[in-house]
Amino acid sequence: MTTATHPYDALMDITARPKAVFVRGAGSYLWDDGRKRYLDFVQGWAVNCLGHSPPAIADALAAQAKRLLTPSPAFYNEPSLKLAQALVENSAFDQVFFANSGAEANEGAIKLARKYGSLHKGGAFEIISFEGGFHGRTLATMSASGKKAFEPLFEPKVSGFKKAKLNDIASVEKLINANTVAVMLEPIQGESGVWPATDQFLRELRALTQAHGLLLIFDEIQTGMGRTGKLFHHEHAGIAPDIMTLGKGIGGGVPLAALLASERASCFEHGDQGGTFNGNPIMCAAGLAVLEEVSKPDFLKSVTETGLLLESELQKVSARHGLGGVRGRGLLLALDLKLSIAPGIVAQAFEAGVLLNAPQLDTLRFMPALNVTRAEIAEMIDCLDGILTKAGAARRVA
Ligand SMILES: Cc1ncc(COP(=O)(O)O)c(C=O)c1O
């Protein structure tokens, strides 16, 4: 046994992390072990939709923890029944399977589509997904993803995924053959830099998949639970997919995800799907607290208004510093910097006590709590403005 020389060394080194250790969070703010405060516009990658440690979730978790942690996934429990019922009542879907991560929910969606193909489409198994898409880090979800950096990793991949181009319906149509069972996409490609599918493209996809008897799978792990101003993003386009996955925001900070399906698509049989912690009462209790808050019409209206404010403030920043456009919807937005300076800006913002994210070298992504305040937006914009002013001055000197 080797002894780790520092507590950091006992964790597998899977990504570059700043050395700060976070010990507390409240709303839009986080504190590290040196008591430094950070304004958080990452929120666990669009996870903490109600901000850090909101009382509604903390209370629900504490109450459920005292009552029942886990009976077994082979028994029913109250919070999972209530949350499944509430999701069905608030969506176009008929049944729910709970998972513990977005990747696991997507893995379930892929299995469900293949099951549908074996039952109803003569064994069809191919899924058309999209260049630039991101669906998780299991082998099948990496294979479904269209992330370039994944291509050389962990070969051989799971076969049966063909990649079309977002917002290009002909590129999808071209890939359909007798083996095709489904089309799978994120309505806004988050990890690749906030690239939205147009509402028109989503409607075309619905029509095309219906015409060919294919399932349409929406990965709403980043866009769902109010993030774009509707409870689910597909509502913007006025369509309903056959299968939808949720993650991140549904647990508001705890590991919960879900696979939802229409009656037609919900075809798992006993033994096809399951898992020790799936639908456990404690995470579902948190999910119920989140859904109760997020599904309120006034809450969603305020996400839209706050999103428009953030968008217009980012556009002003862009105009002041000669940057590119602002993309996205609601409170999932990106600023195109036109230069590969995003990681440097994220590092400077961190020093200044503001957490930002750079999904690409030239792109900043903003995914604050859905209840972020105007004052917190102003504080973030002020910090970003200052950093960009300094960066501009440095470029002029150079
Ligand atoms: C659209 C989308 N799908 C799937 C995932 C994977 O979710 P998880 O990291 O919970 O497995 C993510 C995570 O970033 C995501 O953004």
Ligand 1: which atom is nearest the Cα of residue 191? 16
Strand intervals (E) in 93-148: 95-99, 126-130
Q: Which one, of 149, 248, 229, lies nearest residue 190 by Cα?
A: 248
Query: Could you tell me if the CB of 217 is within 6 A of ligand 1?
Result: no
Q: Which fold has domain 55-294?
A: Aspartate Aminotransferase; domain 2 (3.40.640)
> Which of 188, 192, 243, 248 is the best mutation target for the ligand 1 pocket, counting ligand atoms within 8 Å of the beta carbon and taking the most?
248
Ligand 1: which atom is nearest the Cα of residue 101? 10
CA of 102 to the centre of ligand 1 (A): 5
CA of 61 to the centre of ligand 1 (A): 23
pLDDT digits (tens, 9 = 90+) for 72-95: 999 999 999 999 999 999 999 999
Query: Could you tell me if the CB of 306 is within 6 A of ligand 1?
Result: no
pLDDT at 297: 86
pLDDT digits (tens, 9 = 90+) for 193-236: 999 999 999 999 999 999 999 999 999 999 999 999 999 999 99
DSSP string, 350-390: HHTTEE-EEEETTEEEE---TT--HHHHHHHHHHHHHHHHH
pLDDT at 274: 96
Query: Could you tell me if the CB of 221 is within 6 A of ligand 1?
Result: yes
Query: Could you tell me if the CB of 376 is within 6 A of ligand 1?
Result: no
Beta bridge partners of 25: 30
Residue 398 pLDDT exceeds 80:
no
Ligand 1: which atom is nearest the Cα of residue 141? 4
Distance (Å, whole) CA 32 – CA 280:
31
* Mean local confidence (pLDDT), 5-24: 90
Structure tokens at 348: 């400077």
CA of 257 to the centre of ligand 1 (A): 10
pTM: predicted TM-score of the whole model, two decimal places? 0.97
Distance (Å, whole) CA 198 – CA 200:
5
Query: Could you tell me if the CB of 101 is within 6 A of ligand 1?
Result: yes
Query: Could you tell me if the CB of 106 is within 6 A of ligand 1?
Result: yes
CA of 382 to the centre of ligand 1 (A): 30
CA of 46 to the centre of ligand 1 (A): 10
Decide which of 3.90.1150.10, 1.10.260.40, 3.20.20.70, 3.30.360.10 is the CATH code for 7-53+302-397: 3.90.1150.10
Query: Could you tell me if the CB of 220 is within 6 A of ligand 1?
Result: no
- DSSP letter at 252 equals B
Domain spans of the chain, in order of start: 7-53+302-397, 55-294
Query: Could you tell me if the CB of 45 is within 6 A of ligand 1?
Result: yes
pLDDT at 236: 98
* Mean local confidence (pLDDT), 243-253: 98
- DSSP letter at 222 equals T
* Mean local confidence (pLDDT), 325-343: 97
